[in-house]
Amino acid sequence: MDNGKVAGQKVHTVASPVYAVPMTLMIKVFALLAAAYLCVAAWVSLSQRRLLYRPTRTVAATPAEVGLDHEDVELVNGLGTRLHAWWIPCEGARFTLLFSHGNGGNVSHRLESLRIFHDLGLSVLVYDYSGYGRSRGEPSETATRSDARAAWDWLVRAGTAPESVIVFGRSLGGGVAARLAADLAAEGVSPGGVILESTFTSVADMAARLYPWLPVRLLIRFRYDSAAALAGVRAPVLFAHSPEDEVVPYELGRALYQGYGGPKTFVEMRGGHNGGYLLMGQGYADALAAFLAGLPGHEPENPA
């Protein structure tokens, strides 16, 4: 049968061509990827200040909005920067709380906390970091360290005994408070207690979780290494953190607590990073009150 083939003729099949990727193209692709990687690394490095500090200048309200008497205070830090603070006295207070707030807003966004602290019988000095609210200058790790010390020195000059001061820090303020406690410990001074709420072991640990594919430990300029700072501190410390914290991982808060070698207490909070203390309501206030009641400087209201 004629099948279209000539007898004895070999049939050749044509294979599909195999194309090799030119080496020059591979080099270009890798070069583009490397350039993109370096650009992202450079952006992270150059944007650190903007990513870490989120100040607002407008002071939107005052403690009077929540029924608290207060005094506007001007501080001057060791760098010569003028800072704004509020002094909220509480009659009969056994402790004074030095409040270092988080990285956003300013003192006017902490009114609910001021009300809680006042209801606990605490006098409060809350201050704005350099570049926040009415404080001059611009924020940096060096500046916030100097800011906190200026607030501490104001309390001591006003006659507040160091052992009656509770150093409180929330979020970024936890790093500021830990550094202040370390600086005081190096001088042989100890506050009555320290409260570190919703904070981290270090900014480098935070960044490593956000950008695990970048060499962030080499890029970081603002470290706030609280774990290292607390190594020389022996004051009683209350650590508080929520497993639901969507900003600072709960594991970092637990690690900070576990690594501390002095007297310590851990309170598991509820809710997100910025509103957990409000969500907890009376439970939050009760946890703080229990910590304060266990401090050496505390005296019962009606001693026998």
Could you report the per-residue pLDDT of 257-297, keeping only the tens digit for each?
A: 999 999 999 999 999 999 999 999 999 999 999 999 999 86
pLDDT above 90 as % of the chain: 74
At a CB cut-off of 8 Å and minimum separation 6, what does 1 contact?
A: none
How much is the average pLDDT of 133-144?
Answer: 97
d(CA 159, CA 223): 33
Judge whether 49 and 140 are in contact, CB under 8 Å.
Answer: yes
List helix spans (H) across the chain. 23-46, 48-52, 111-119, 141-157, 172-186, 203-210, 216-219, 226-229, 250-259, 276-280, 282-293
Dihedral sign, Cα of residue 120, residue 267, residue 151, residue 173? negative
The answer to whether residue 302 scores a pLDDT higher than 50 is no
Query: So what's the pLDDT on residue 209?
Result: 86
Least confident range from 1-15, 77-91, 147-161, 190-204: namely 1-15
At a CB cut-off of 8 Å and minimum separation 6, what does 98 contact?
A: 124, 125, 148, 151, 152, 155, 165, 166, 167, 168, 177, 180, 191
Which pTM value belongs to this model? 0.84
Query: So what's the pLDDT on residue 245?
Result: 96
The answer to whether residue 10 scores a pLDDT higher than 70 is no
Query: So what's the pLDDT on residue 291?
Result: 98
Ordered structural domains, the chain, with CATH: 63-293 (3.40.50.1820)
Query: So what's the pLDDT on residue 45?
Result: 63
Query: So what's the pLDDT on residue 267?
Result: 98
Q: Read off the pLDDT band of 33 (50, 70, 90).
A: low
